[in-house]
Structure 1
Amino acid sequence: MNAMMKPSLNDISDAWFAFHRAHDEIGDYTHRADAGEEFFWVIEYLGDTARHEPQTCWDAISLIWSRTDKNDMARLASLAAGPLEDLLAYHGREVSPWVEQLCLSEPVFRTLLQGVWQNAILPDVWERINELRNSGGEA
Structure 2
Amino acid sequence: MDSQAIRDWATAYIALQQDSERSLDGHPLFWAAERFMLPSDAASAEDCWAAILEILSRNPPDSVIGSLAAGPLEDLIDYAGPNFIERIELHARRDPAFHHLLGGVWTSSTPSVWARVEAARGGTW
TM-score greater than 0.5 by the shorter chain = yes
Q: Which residue of 2 aligns with 1:56?
A: 47
User: Is structure 2 residue 3 aligned with structure 1 residue 38?
Assistant: no
- Aligned alpha-carbon RMSD (Å): 2.3
Return the index of the structure with the highest Cα Rg: 1
TM (norm. structure 1) is 0.76
Moved over 3 A (4+): none
Q: Which residue of 1 aligns with 2:113?
A: 125
TM (norm. structure 2) is 0.84
Gaps of 5+ in 2: none
SS in 1 for 2:35: helix
Residues 22 and 35 of structure 1: CA distance in aligned 2, closer, same or farther (over 3 Å): farther
Size of the aligned set, in residue pairs, is 120
Structure 2 Cα separation of the partners of residues 79 and 60 of structure 1? 10
1:83 pairs with 48, 66, 72, which one?
72
Structure 1 Cα separation of the partners of residues 67 and 16 of structure 2? 11
Q: Deviations over 1:43-84 (max 9, x none)?
A: 1111143x4221111001000011133xx3211110001000
Bigger RCO of structures 1 and 2 (CA < 8 A, at least 6 apart): 2
Structure 1 Cα separation of the partners of residues 81 and 24 of structure 2? 32
Gaps of 5+ in 1: none
Q: Which residue of 1 aligns with 2:19?
A: 22
